[in-house]
Structure 1
Amino acid sequence: MGWDDEYQVDPATNEVSGPYEAWQVVGCVLTLLVVGVVAARRWRPFGTALVLPVSFTLAWSVTAASEDDSGLWGVGAVLVLLGTAVASLVVVAVVAAIATAREPR
C-alpha cells in the first residue's frame, strides 16, 4: 500500500492503529476502481474481473509474506482475493450494463 507502514499510537489513549493510514487505503481502492473501469471498457470485461484480483493478490502476498512471522498472510491472501474478486465482478458488471444501455438499438 505504500512506504508508510508504521503503527500509530495515540498519545492520549495509547490506542494503536495502522499500519496503514486511511488515505492509503482510499487511494488503493480508487486506483483499483479506475484500472478496473478502464480495463473493462477497453478489453473484455470479465477477463478484467479475473486478472485484476489475481494480480493484486499476488502483489499483496509478496509484501505480506515477507513481513509475517505467523504464517497468517495466507489467510489474508484468500480474503484479499475474495474481496477483490467480488468488487471486480461488480465493477465490470456495472461497466458492461452501462455499455449495453448506450448501444444504439
Structure 2
Amino acid sequence: MANRLPHRTPERLPEAVATLILALTSAALWAAWLGWDQHRDVHPDGSTTGPYGAWQVIGLVLTLLAPLYWAAARRHVTGAVLGITAGLTAAAYLDWSDDASGLYMIGVIMVALGSAAATALTTLAIASLRRPAPAARPV
C-alpha cells in the first residue's frame, strides 16, 4: 500500500511559511513604493520635506492590505503580524541605515511599533469577520 501524503491547500499552509511569505512581500512592497525615493525635496523657503510623499506611503499601506487579507482569511494572525512587521522593519533598517546621525533607529523602532499595532488590529478585524456563523441548534 502506497503511503500518500495529504494534499496541501493554501488554507493549510503552515504559519511559518505564511510568515516568511508576508515578510518578503512586505519588504518588496517597501522597495517598490519607497525604496527608489532617496532625496529630500527643498522648497523655495529653504525647508525640506520627504523623501517620501504621502501618496507613496498610502500606496504601500493599501497594497499591503491584499497579503494581509490573504493571511487573515486563513487564520494566520500571528504570521500576518510578525511577517509584515518584520518585512517593513527590515526594509526600513536597510533603507535608512546609511544615516550618519544615528537617528534612523528611532524611525525604525517607530515603523516596527506602528506596523505591529496596525497589522494586529486589521488582522484581528478581518479574521473575526471571516468566522463562520455557529450552526443553529435544534430546540
- The TM-score bracket by the shorter chain reads 0.7 to 0.9
Instruction: Return 81-90 or 31-40, whichever deviates more.
Output: 31-40
Match of 1:83 in 2: 114
Matches within 5 A, 1:1-105: 1-11=34-44, 13-42=45-74, 44-65=76-97, 67-100=98-131, 102-103=132-133, 105=135
% of aligned pairs identical?
A: 36
Mapped to 1, the partners of 2:75 and 2:124 lie a distance apart of 13
Structure 1, unmatched stretches of 5+, are none
Residue identity matched to 2:84: L
Mapped to 1, the partners of 2:100 and 2:63 lie a distance apart of 29
Show CA shifts across 1:20-55 (max 9, x none): 112111111112222211222135122211221012
The runs of at least 4 consecutive aligned structure 1 residues that moved more than 3 Å come to none
CA contact (8 A) 2:75 2:127 kept: no
**TM-score with structure 1 length normalisation?**
0.83
Mapped to 1, the partners of 2:90 and 2:133 lie a distance apart of 36
Show CA shifts across 1:28-83 (max 9, x none): 11122222112221351222112210121011111111x31011121211111000
**TM-score with structure 2 length normalisation?**
0.65
The answer to which structure has the higher helix fraction is 1
Mapped to 2, the partners of 1:87 and 1:34 lie a distance apart of 14
Q: How many residues align?
A: 102
Residue identity matched to 2:50: G
Mapped to 1, the partners of 2:37 and 2:107 lie a distance apart of 20
